[in-house]
Amino acid sequence: MSDAYAVIGNPIIHSKSPLIHTAFSKQTKQKMHYKALFAPLNGFAEAIKVFRKNNGKGMNVTTPFKFDAYKISTQLTEHAEAAQAVNTLLFNSNEIYGHNTDGIGLIRDIVTNLGFAITAKRILICGAGGAASGIILPLLQKNPSTLVISNRTVQKAYKLQDQFSSFNNIIVANDNMDIAKREFDLVINATSTSLIGKSLILPRNIFASGSLAYDLMYSNKQTPFLKFAQKEGAEYLSDGTGMLVEQAAESFFLWRGIRPKTKEIIKNIRNGS
């Protein structure tokens, strides 16, 4: 029986992960299979148990189970610990390793694929939920000059600032007036607004010359955030397709010890195949 992998979530029907990992396994000639696994909201632990019994070697974890995955992990990587969320599980007979590859995927897309250096840049992260907390540590590890966090519920932004207090370059924006006083080289939409088709309300004139606007959500159509950024003169625009494929590549590497090539697959996903 070949090694089994899956992405688990609720809902799971729209996940691109089976497509991406099947392409990776073909490209690297690995004997494995990968499927989408739906679990009831209270059925995460049971689904994991059954999957492991059936030769399950590893899993990707998506909404709403990233915190459940964090809790069942017996060992956590630095990135999972920092995010307090796990998107990749690796099983062996005694241990459940929990990792978080979201932020690593984002960095690889920005730095390697888009050729945009983060070091010494001024960053704005909009949002302070699960997606935001997963990307903060790897961004800080690239030594930006400042990282401003802005969120509709400002207390959550302060909580993140506390969580990463060993870095002293995190600033919380209390409101849009606070943001309006600054310019940014990299603006990241980590809110769920694009997912629900809403606009994120941001002040004008915040995009510095040569800036990159990055929406963590992947979409075939330009998101309202990216439309706004384009109008405001952001020089580079990106949705989260590259991050999606790169976080998958990092999971694949953890499981199989081989790093798949991503360029072609990003192109295919972007073209809707």
161 binding ligand ATR? (CB under 6 A): no
Helix 263-270 and helix 17-28, axial crossing angle in degrees, nearest 10: 150
The whole-angstrom separation of Cα 236 and Cα 208 is: 11
Looking at the Cβ atoms of 77 and 87, the one nearer to ligand ATR is 87
Applying CB under 6 A, among 16, 35, 52, 152 the residue interacting with ligand ATR is: 152
Applying CB under 6 A, among 143, 153, 176, 205 the residue interacting with ligand ATR is: 153
Alpha-carbon distances of 149 from 62, 174, 238, rounded to whole Å: 24, 9, 19
The whole-angstrom separation of Cα 217 and Cα 144 is: 22
192 binding ligand ATR? (CB under 6 A): yes
Catalytic status, residue 66: yes
Q: Which of residues 193-222 bind ligand ATR (CB under 6 A)?
A: 193, 198, 200
Q: Give me the catalytic one of 16, 31, 66, 121.
A: 66
Q: What angle do CA 67, 71, 77 make, to 5 degrees?
A: 90
Nearest to 57 by CA among 106, 3, 95: 3
**CB neighbour class for 184 (10 Å; exposed up to 12, middle 13-18, buried from 19):** buried
151 binding ligand ATR? (CB under 6 A): yes
Residue nearest to ligand ATR (CB): 129
Q: Total residues at the site for ligand ATR (CB under 6 A)?
A: 14
For the bound state, the minimum distance from the C-beta of residue 72 to ligand ATR, rounded and expressed in Å, comes to 19
- Residues contributing to the site for ligand ATR (CB under 6 A): 127-131, 151-153, 156, 191-193, 198, 200
